[in-house]
Amino acid sequence: MAQQGQQGQMASGDSNLNLRMVAEIQNVEGQNLQEQVCPEPIFRFFRENKVEIASAITRPFPFLMGLRDRSFISEQMYEHFQEAFRNLVPVTRVMYCVLSELEKTFGWSHLEALFSRINLMAYPDLNEIYRSFQNVCYEHSPLQMNNVNDLEDRPRLLPYGKQENSNACHEMDFCLILQEYVTGKKREY
Instruction: Judge residue 23's burial from the number of C-beta atoms within 10 Å of its C-beta, 0-12 exposed, 13-18 middle, 19 or more buried.
Output: buried
What digits encode the pLDDT tens for the residues 110-168?
A: 999 999 999 999 999 999 999 998 888 878 766 544 443 444 444 433 333 434 444 44
pLDDT score at 108: 86
Q: For residue 116, give its domain range.
A: 14-152+164-183
What is the number of structural domains in the chain? 1
Inside any domain, residue 172: yes
Phi/psi for 65 (5° steps) reads -65, -35
Distance of CA 72 to the CA centre of its chain: 13
Confidence of residue 180 (pLDDT cuts 50, 70, 90): low
What digits encode the pLDDT tens for the residues 8-21?
A: 333 333 334 333 33
Inside any domain, residue 142: yes
Instruction: Judge residue 153's burial from the number of C-beta atoms within 10 Å of its C-beta, 0-12 exposed, 13-18 middle, 19 or more buried.
Output: exposed
Inside any domain, residue 122: yes
Inside any domain, residue 189: no
Cβ distance 102 to 78 under 8 Å?
Answer: no
Inside any domain, residue 8: no
Inside any domain, residue 94: yes
Inside any domain, residue 7: no
Inside any domain, residue 69: yes
Lowest mean pLDDT among 81-85, 156-160, 183-187: 156-160
Query: Whole-angstrom Cα distance, residue 63 to residue 119?
Result: 6
